[in-house]
Structure 1
Amino acid sequence: MKENIRQIIAKFKEEDRLAAKAREEEAKSPVTKNERRSFLKKTALGGLSLGAMMYASIEDTVAETTSKVNRYSNPSDLKITDMRVAVLRNVGRTPIIRIDTNQGIYGLGEVRDGADERYALMLKSRILGLNPCNVEQLWKIINQFGGHGRLGGGVCAVEMALWDLCGKAYGVPAWQLLGGRYRDKVRLYADTPGFDDPAEFAKVMRERTVDQGFTWLKMDLGIHVVADEKDSLVNSQFWGGAKGQYDTRDYMSYGSTLHPFTQVQITDKGLEGLSQYVESVRNAVGYEIPLCADHFGHFDVNNSIRFARAMEKYRLAWLEDMVPWFYTDQWRTVSDAVETPTCTGEDIYMLKGFKPLIDARAVDIVHPDLGTSGGLLETKKIGDYAEEHGVAMAMHMAGSPVCFMANVHCAAATQNFLALEHHSVDTPWWEDLVKMTGSQPMVDKGFANVPLDAPGLGIELNDDVMKEHLHPEAPGYFEPTPDWDRRRSWDRTWS
């Protein structure tokens, strides 16, 4: 075979020399048009040309002709060999998982903020030895171990890592594996921290909109804003002032009690105080920028309607999580009673959890958190189903850049997408946790760049920065996890 190739090379040496001379003479000719001249120059400089290959060694010729082939992996022979974890001190607690393979490539995923890395580690024995590129097959093996809220974190982390692996194996971005992209940039929304000093607040708003370039904002607009004002709330002191929305240590605490069962109410004075607060925000940011609201507190559907109607003149982009997501009928009651769009979904697991809300037209916007909702493909399915019913999709995200970039790929591939949350705008080291493997920065003026020239999620970890921000209660960095290798249960849920 080598002798045949040498004969072909010898045969075309002289022809190639003459062709190269002819190209050179044509390029120098005054009658040659500029476009043609430019083309001839590019063919001469565009890498190892056919002519150059005729003079090259056998080894160089083979290397050049296969230079675009991904020899780093053979996707059909990929096997999962390990899962390891590193826990960040980010938004409380954020575990990052790494799924390794027999070919040296690995995938990154993230267990949702505030969740336990063991939600993911217990899945390791279910996927060892399997091909990570069969994402949907593996998803059907593990999704029974997920659930609403943080219980979905482990399954979603694995799903993210599988798409990262699959993209790297085939040399394409994750959005391409989801069916292609609708956009090159993903619009972000950022929180707007409140300040009592109007001048300080205006300064922060200018930084958000002018310096950082955000075109969509979100604020916390709860009863905590007026809780200390006399006669603003009813029955709040029984619940410790109704400020402990996230204190769930006690089963009967305010944070653990469903909204309809607290009997906390808002007075007209309280609504007036909240209106003044929103007006000050609108005065600072204007009306061109969408402004949505969250964290209202645990009060019932009646107070939700009173609250929403008092806010209508400020044209908020949405009112989020006013009652628990599983009260479909109550959401429909609120949505039908107010003009401001309603929104929920950050705690819902899988499309089947969203279907009752969408089918009943109970909310105007679904708001999945990809770290709970099922990962990239399931969240795209949620968006697609919502689109069929005329419902838009925004995306909740309060994690590290790993989950953030998984969201970016999903948002790029979903048509009815509105905006993605960026929860760590003011954390200086947040973006440095990873390195972008493509040519663009992660975030640019309020928009995330969709990776166009990088495989998988388009990131690699920055080990030094990661190690600086490990959670003190989990200091190890991707240590071996042999205790999770063995499967000890019969998982089938049917007979």
Structure 2
Amino acid sequence: MSNDRRSFIKNSALGGLALGGLFNLSFEDRVAETTRAVSRASAPSDLKITDMRYAVVQNVGRTAIIRIDTNQGIYGLGEVRDGADERYALLLKSRILGQNPCNVEMIFKMIRQFGGASRQAGGVCGVEMALWDLCGKAYNVPAWQLLGGRYRDKIRLYADTPEASSPEEQRRLIRYRLEQQGYTWLKMDLGIEEIKDIPGTLVNWEYWGPKLSQWQGGYMSYAETEHPFTQIQITDQGFEELSKIVENVRSMVGYQIPLSTDHYGHFDLNNGIRLGRALEKYRLAWLEDIISWELTDQWKTITDALETPTLTGEDIYLLKNFKPLIDTHAVDIIHPDLVTSGGLLETKHIGDYAEEHGIAMAMHQAGTPVSFMANVHCAAATQNFLALEHHSIDVPWWESLVRTTDGRALITKGFANVPLSAPGLGIELNDEEVKKHLTEKDKSYFAPTPEWNDLRSHDRIFS
């Protein structure tokens, strides 16, 4: 027996636990016992979920932050995806009360049936996020450590390129992005809405009405019509005008900075291919969400036709729904949004699966600093990660919604700082600041939610 092993047995016995007894314990209690010398805020094996509460802040319209409380006074923070309803999370409360929050994977498998594509997954992902925050606090380790360790100490961010009223003003703003804020990756919107007022650029645009929007409209509106079914086409002049927009930005940032594009509008794969070919010479980092993510075969056609990398994924829930895109190499880069894709662990699984198939992962993020930090931990723990979106760079109060528990800066020169020792997500809410930015329609602040305590349905999905 080595000296190390003798020492381990001796210390176990001195600690009041025989070695044989150690291996008779459950996994949870074994981890608790072997880490009991670690300074932590609770006895993890005795933790129980006692409550779930929420507050909705004015982030990208509205974003709900949830708090899961326990019987030991520690709590975890999570977030429902931007623009989604907090009730996606609240309906899960009755299903997790009394559970040990450190059983993250088990609880996730209990509730994942209640998630769906895009914002319908917000509740499941917000709960999973809060559980990792709780578990990290219980064991006094960062969330990335619970995911298997970290590959990096800082996380590269990509930032939207601001629009401006003139080329001179845009040049000033881009210089500020690069020189003062320190961002090393930019993304710009390149939608057909930007050329709609130029005669001769679009076909069939007027049919849908003069005030088209990708985001708002009734069920049979342009906003709710999938890309192949609008029959909007872009003319040669239209492609020239869109190319001018990219050329203007590329001339400002040069070729040292990756430049990605997004939000083109609703048109079919043929126009997507033509647009991609028109932009090839600008060496874009990726073309994002040209068509809807479900159209795997069409994505494969687009990707095979273009040299510029293609990317999708922000509305995909769970690894199983990423697999068709990854298995067929239908896109060059996957792009999960952690508050849709399944939370921290599922997103890491997605990244790992893509890595095995030679596909990189960028990460979409438009939330508060709560989900931002969940993404930071996941990105730190995933090898094939490229860059994480920061959507609220120009919101002056965004960073002040939280304070870091280890005193680090949240972001430094275009990179997020990974908490190297702070437990859980490594942040706490700045209560007074959050209260200043609650949504006008709901000023409650983590008020009791007893109406969600009772389980009223039998949820088994098989006979």
Question: Which residue in 1 is equivalent to 2:201?
Answer: 232
The partner residue of 2:216 within 247, 261, 279 is: 247
Query: What CA distance in whole angstroms lies between the structure 2 residues aligned with 1:109 and 1:71?
Result: 20
Instruction: Report the AA paired with residue 427 of structure 1.
Output: V
Question: Which residue in 2 is equivalent to 1:289?
Answer: 257
Question: Which residue in 2 is equivalent to 1:440?
Answer: 408
Q: What are the Cα deviations for residues 335-360 of structure 1, in whole angstroms up to 9, with x where unaligned?
A: 00011000000000000110000011
Question: Which residue in 2 is equivalent to 1:85?
Answer: 54
Query: What CA distance in whole angstroms lies between the structure 2 residues aligned with 1:167 and 1:213?
Result: 31
CA contact (8 A) 2:52 2:69 kept: yes
Q: 1:438 to 1:229 in 2, by over 3 A?
A: same
The partner residue of 1:138 within 84, 104, 107 is: 107
SS of structure 2 residue aligned to 1:167: helix
Query: What CA distance in whole angstroms lies between the structure 1 residues aligned with 2:208 and 2:361?
Result: 34
Aligned-residue offset at 1:289 = 0.3
Instruction: Report the AA paired with residue 433 of structure 1.
Output: L
Q: What are the Cα deviations for residues 73-127 of structure 1, in whole angstroms up to 9, with x where unaligned?
A: 0000000000000000111110000000000000000000000000000000000
Aligned-residue offset at 1:433 = 0.1
The partner residue of 1:333 within 301, 309, 315 is: 301
Q: TM-score, normalised by structure 1?
A: 0.86
SS of structure 2 residue aligned to 1:254: coil
Question: Which residue in 1 is equivalent to 2:330?
Answer: 362
Question: Which residue in 1 is equivalent to 2:266?
Answer: 298
Question: Which residue in 2 is equivalent to 1:260?
Answer: 228
Query: What CA distance in whole angstroms lies between the structure 1 residues aligned with 2:40 and 2:87?
Result: 34
Instruction: Report the AA paired with residue 487 of structure 1.
Output: L
Q: 1:67 to 1:78 in 2, by over 3 A?
A: closer
Aligned-residue offset at 1:69 = 4.3
After alignment, is 468-477 or 192-201 more displaced? Answer: 192-201
Question: Which residue in 2 is equivalent to 1:429?
Answer: 397
Kindly indicate whether residue 424 of structure 2 is the aligned counterpart of residue 456 of structure 1: yes
Query: What CA distance in whole angstroms lies between the structure 1 residues aligned with 2:160 and 2:85?
Result: 25
Instruction: Among all aligned residue pairs of Structure 1 and Structure 2, give the percentage whose two residues are the same amino acid.
Output: 70
Question: Which residue in 2 is equivalent to 1:38?
Answer: none
SS of structure 1 residue aligned to 2:461: coil
- Could you say which structure has the larger radius of gyration? 1
CA contact (8 A) 2:39 2:140 kept: yes
Aligned-residue offset at 1:439 = 3.3
Question: Which residue in 2 is equivalent to 1:15?
Answer: none
Question: Which residue in 1 is equivalent to 2:167?
Answer: 198
Query: What CA distance in whole angstroms lies between the structure 2 residues aligned with 1:243 and 1:190?
Result: 26
The partner residue of 1:115 within 57, 75, 84 is: 84
Instruction: Report the AA paired with residue 336 of structure 1.
Output: D
Query: What CA distance in whole angstroms lies between the structure 1 residues aligned with 2:441 and 2:180?
Result: 36
Question: Which residue in 2 is equivalent to 1:276?
Answer: 244
CA contact (8 A) 1:227 1:241 kept: no
Aligned-residue offset at 1:224 = 1.2
Instruction: Report the AA paired with residue 269 of structure 1.
Output: Q
Q: TM-score, normalised by structure 2?
A: 0.91
Specify every segment of 5 or more residues in structure 2 that has no aligned partner in the other structure, as ranges.
Answer: 1-34
Aligned-residue offset at 1:71 = 5.5
Query: What CA distance in whole angstroms lies between the structure 1 residues aligned with 2:212 and 2:255?
Result: 29
Question: Which residue in 2 is equivalent to 1:314?
Answer: 282
Matched residues, number: 429
Aligned-residue offset at 1:195 = 2.0
Instruction: Report the AA paired with residue 313 of structure 1.
Output: K
Instruction: Report the AA paired with residue 245 of structure 1.
Output: Q
SS of structure 2 residue aligned to 1:255: coil
Kindly indicate whether residue 304 of structure 2 is the aligned counterpart of residue 346 of structure 1: no
Query: What CA distance in whole angstroms lies between the structure 2 residues aligned with 1:67 and 1:344?
Result: 44
Q: What are the Cα deviations for residues 115-163 of structure 1, in whole angstroms up to 9, with x where unaligned?
A: 0000000000000000000000000000000000100000000000000
Aligned-residue offset at 1:72 = 2.6
Question: Which residue in 2 is equivalent to 1:129?
Answer: 98
Instruction: Report the AA paired with residue 334 of structure 2.
Output: V
Kindly indicate whether residue 77 of structure 2 is the aligned counterpart of residue 105 of structure 1: no
SS of structure 1 residue aligned to 2:41: coil
